[in-house]
Structure 1
Amino acid sequence: MDADARIAVLGEELRAVRKGLGLYQTTLPSVAGPVLLDIAGATATDPPGTVRDKLVATVRGLITRLPEGRQELARAVFGLDNPDNTGYMDRLVEQGRAADRDLRTMQRRANEVVYLLAELACVYTPAAAASVDTVPWHTKRLDVRLVLRGDDVEVFETRRVVSHEPDLVDVAHSISVGQSGQGKGPVDLAALGIDEISGGEVRSPRMVSADRVAFTLRPPAPLGPGDEHDFFFRIRATDIAPFYCCTPEFDCERFSLNIRFEPHRRPTRVWRINGELSKEAADPTPTRATLQVDDTGEVRTDFTNLRPARSYGIGWAL
């Protein structure tokens, strides 16, 4: 197959995977065509989850090679920035609204993006991808349970990461433990408990701001491209600001948050923080979707396809 024919075939395959929820459609492993699968390094023996991870990593790497002005549209075209799980045409409408362009114009631009990605993919090699795509891993699933007991706060986090590189031995992580105020100073690292429960070791905890602690998670063995691994750990604090958010540095496919309040200290209002700028996440002023606390004092919500550097979580007022 000559280069022009390969670009044409790959363009058709990319148009197939952009439909619906794009790279997060449930049928992705069976919809993806043979040329795209070959470029992604997916094999017939790979389970569906591994095929998806390889396809997502491949398209993400190709997008980073586009001109900066086209990258946002490309991410929307393939559903990489889609916190509300909207379909393909709705994503284009949203992009058109932001750019003040009609749907037909956005469809033309989306087709141009597909062609450019197909052209790039035809000279795509793992080595070239590694030199551009510097994302070492992403989160496939994050489950957090936050328990409030008087002045004690416990956070139980289970995180499934997917490696993008060979011999991944350290997963850099951080968590902000904002305090509720009352004249208190920076968080005391010595009083902050970070305990690994399963899946590896917590190493080198250190304060990187007044309320953010960074540390490294080390799996029992190095991870290779497409390998998945679960970490489960607990963080204990003596105070917390009235909100809890995930603000991912890299892509996060799914985030589930469950908060349990004490029966005698139930909040008067609880709201959902969905893809906001991190500096605005703690602001109780904006109008947001209300969440309900159940009879046991728990509130929960889920997010999918979280965008890096945006905040997702729950806020409350006592």
Structure 2
Amino acid sequence: MDGSPTRLFALWLRDLRNTAGLTLEQLARRTGYGRTTVSDAMRGKDHPSRPVTLAVVGACGGDVDRWAVFWAEVRRALDPNAYGPVDITPPPWDPPAPENGTHGVHGEQCPAGCTRTDPHGWYVESVHTQVRLDTPAAEAVERRVIVATCDGLTDIPVAFSVPRRAGDVTAGHGLDVSAVRGGRLELREHPYESYFQQRLVLPAPLRAGIRHEYVLRLRIPPAQPMAPHFVHIPLTRSEHFRLRVRFDPAREPRAVWQLTGVPPAVIYQQSPGTRLLSPDRRGTVAVEFEAMKVGYGYGLCWQYE
């Protein structure tokens, strides 16, 4: 996802609504607000008002008090006059405690009778991503291993943000995502220009505790410039991320630096906050991260000029 706190907030508000299984019409009736108002609250274009937010959260059965804090954190992050860094802590805030005993191979299980497939029903054990910038069009191959915490997990959401590079005024803006192995992609959605989401349907339902590996290939259209970063922002528990970016040896960046647990807005500051990294003789920079915090960014940024 991109670096906007507003978009981060909207993503989790949409996730809450999806978990509750409410249509926009049902949500409008329960909140007393119009359909357009509740829809706009989840679009990510503008930060919704506090009353609308808490009405939506209450209608969806969410934690109104904690969402009020989350709303205030985002509001402060959007305030140009706010002093100092703003720590935004998105959901989930209180993950369910593991059940006693063991189940599957990892000893973790959701409450009895749980049929949900939102992020609480699985977590990410590892993400290994190889980004190629030495090809005619930028592409990445991503191998993920997930662990089910619900019996009968059949599909999971996959989503990517492809923000425009500064100065890009081309008409189109796209991303091609294909499943190499481990499932098939369905329900392609493009809710706003930079955000692409689908569902990965697994080859067979997973039992709680079972690991599953899948591989995706991401391609930027040939004429579309890529923003100068690649960042993993976990939206559920994510234990390990390894990233390798291979630059074009004929056009290596002037500076490359690592991002570790930064708020999304920091990604776009294009200001090295850590020591600079140098590509190896093959033009590659590699980094690894462990035990990442939900909602924060991990990866690489670079500058060509």
Match of 1:236 in 2: 219
Match of 1:169 in 2: 154
User: How far apart, CA to CA, are the structure 2 residues paired with 1:185 and 1:294?
Assistant: 33
Compared CA separation, residues 134 and 157, structure 1 to 2 (3 A): closer
Select the residue among 129, 132, 139 that pairs with 1:154: 139
Letter in 1 for 2:137: D
Q: CA RMSD in A?
A: 2.6
Deviation of residue 180 (structure 1)?
Answer: 1.6
Match of 2:130 in 1: 145
User: How far apart, CA to CA, are the structure 2 residues paired with 1:40 and 1:273?
Assistant: 37
User: How far apart, CA to CA, are the structure 2 residues paired with 1:215 and 1:186?
Assistant: 23
Match of 1:214 in 2: 197
- SS of the residue 2:298 aligns to: strand
Higher radius of gyration, 1 or 2: 1
Letter in 1 for 2:144: R
User: How far apart, CA to CA, are the structure 1 residues paired with 2:113 and 2:251?
Assistant: 55
Q: Which has the higher helix share?
A: 1
Structure 2: 5+ residue runs without aligned partners?
1-96
Compared CA separation, residues 213 and 129, structure 1 to 2 (3 A): closer
- SS of the residue 1:226 aligns to: coil
Letter in 2 for 1:217: L
Match of 2:53 in 1: none
- SS of the residue 1:282 aligns to: helix
Does structure 2 retain, via aligned residues, the 8 Å contact 1:179–1:187? no
Select the residue among 29, 34, 40 that pairs with 2:100: 40
Does structure 1 retain, via aligned residues, the 8 Å contact 2:115–2:152? no
Deviation of residue 207 (structure 1)?
Answer: 1.3
- SS of the residue 2:206 aligns to: coil
User: How far apart, CA to CA, are the structure 2 residues paired with 1:213 and 1:186?
Assistant: 17
Deviation of residue 179 (structure 1)?
Answer: 2.5
User: How far apart, CA to CA, are the structure 2 residues paired with 1:137 and 1:264?
Assistant: 42
Matched length: 204
Compared CA separation, residues 296 and 188, structure 1 to 2 (3 A): same
Compared CA separation, residues 235 and 130, structure 1 to 2 (3 A): closer
Match of 1:196 in 2: 179
Compared CA separation, residues 297 and 166, structure 1 to 2 (3 A): same
What TM-score results when the alignment is normalised by the length of structure 2?
A: 0.61
Does structure 2 retain, via aligned residues, the 8 Å contact 1:160–1:231? yes
Letter in 2 for 1:247: I
Extract structure 1 runs of 4+ deviating beyond 4 A.
Answer: 128-131
Structure 1: 5+ residue runs without aligned partners?
1-35, 62-125
What TM-score results when the alignment is normalised by the length of structure 1?
A: 0.59
Compared CA separation, residues 210 and 151, structure 1 to 2 (3 A): farther
Letter in 1 for 2:208: P
User: How far apart, CA to CA, are the structure 2 residues paired with 1:307 and 1:151?
Assistant: 34
Match of 2:300 in 1: 314
Identity %: 24
